[in-house]
Chain A
């Protein structure tokens, strides 16, 4: 028995280590005072943070990535939520096909989507534009929102909608006052996925964007190909910190919501 137990613990620890270590290894690297990305670190220093935060290029990349991620989040969350609500509250012919189309970006290789977007956006004049990047990222992020909201809706009691309607609420009031508060955790989680999807995106960004539109992912890729500066590790660490803060905020919101409904967290 104890042999089996230690095997399970051991293999679980290995899986977790493989998942997390590559992420965590950049954290010490970012605090190096060396010119190069290398172990061991000669001495601790925050000089690369100073470089990153003082650089106009990185500042522009941060600003652009944040703007495009926020717009993508807003668009993908709205569309994905509406799609999920629509597909669960009505029945129509071809429902399965619509559903498959909504999640298809998850199954199409990103490089294929990127090539397709490149040609279509060139025709439409959307290439190398902010609007093109937001639309392309929205396409990739929408399935995540759609699926998380769909999962939350499966636990939604449809009687609540009926109660609201029969008591005089319009369909819009019913959505805003009754359904949305209940499915909010799914919407927020979907929005988070959408934000991170946009922030991380490299392939489509390379095809649809342009060097003139500086983006974090593009600059990290360029930096790691050209000069392997520890500035990249500093940027990556800042991103990890940012994601952790984001997740903490979402969890805090979830607990607050659960407490408001009188359910123990």
Chain B
């Protein structure tokens, strides 16, 4: 626990609508002051319900939610002092852009002159200066979402919630807005909780990501740690490209294990403490695999046959067949000179033990 920990705390939070199916189960989560935290997961994983409970639109069935050390469960949404951006923008179409942005200040009884000044500043921040007198319906989708962003920030809330705010925008605009939201976050230092199902968006923007699956947080970590050290097969598959190879744990030693992959065995990290004899999945990122590495350079070496090679400009994608019959995806950057291989070639695939992980197969959970 650092001093910044516990700005927002979920303690044993559960949510069920019908008394049986738990949308969110036993959620414990600490959000740090000033961080950009993303709740990432497929639809139905509980991430949106978690955000709605934080906003106050849904009540937890059990557990507590604290903001700055105080429970907010008895605080209605309008008294939580948050800002929020919605996927559908939720702009008030009968008000001008300026009236929309000034809304949080108006309902707080601020003087008109002060509102006008703050609205001007907020519109400048989202790069829409001079738009105050337009109607929202006259703006493009991207501009509307900027207005919604300004409206969520203008009253300097203690927490900003974002519910898939870029989901309705096209790819190019989405990437541009990701950068802008990130810059605004960095310059204001406000705590943001962001919900998305888009893993690349989460990786781009977040300080930390909570990966949701079946109502539970599978892993809460920095983007880099999530990608490089996934704690479950689900996280490995959900974030980035991944090889998930079924096999059996043969033997364990310290934090590592000997993993039988068909006829071959490899040394893998055993983060979940699997016991010898356990059926498991070997998780391995495609770009960590070297082709025909020099003798003695990689711990794990397996003979395989190339079955497909696709040149994609910046990288080469290979599909190789293992002696046991399984296929493995290999990605090599073209930057360092690509290996001259073609389908049918016999190769040695090599990788280090710290890049592959023996993890419980999801079905066995």
Contacts and interface: CB of A to CB of B under 8 A. Distances in A.
Interface of A: 157, 159-160, 162-171, 173-174, 177-178, 181-182, 257, 260-263
Contact of A257 (B57, B90, B94): B94
Contact of B93 (A162, A173, A261): A261
B104 interface: yes
Q: Give the dominant DSSP class at B's interface.
A: mixed
A162 B94 contact: no
Contact of B135 (A164, A165, A177, A260): A260
B201 to A, nearest CB: 21
6 contacts: A165-B57, A166-B80, A167-B78, A167-B107, A169-B107, A171-B78
Contact of B90 (A162, A170, A171, A260): A162
B94 A181 contact: yes
Interface of B: 55-57, 76-84, 86, 88, 90, 92-94, 103-104, 106-108, 135-138, 151-152, 155, 161
B94 A167 contact: no
Contacts of A168: 78-79, 81, 104, 107-108, 155
A165 B76 contact: yes
B78 A261 contact: no
A16 B191 CA distance: 64
Residue from A160, A165, A168, A170 whose CB has the most chain B CB atoms within 10 Å: A168
Contacts, number: 83
Contacts of A257: 94
A167 B83 CA distance: 6
A263 B80 CA distance: 34
Contacts of B136: 262
Given A159-B86, A262-B136, A164 B57 contact: no
B94 A173 contact: no
Contact of B104 (A157, A167, A171, A262): A167
A157 B107 contact: no
A169 B56 CA distance: 14
Given A157-B90, A177-B107, A260-B94, A170 B78 contact: yes
B138 A166 contact: no
Contacts of A160: 90, 92
Contact of A162 (B77, B108, B135, B155): B77
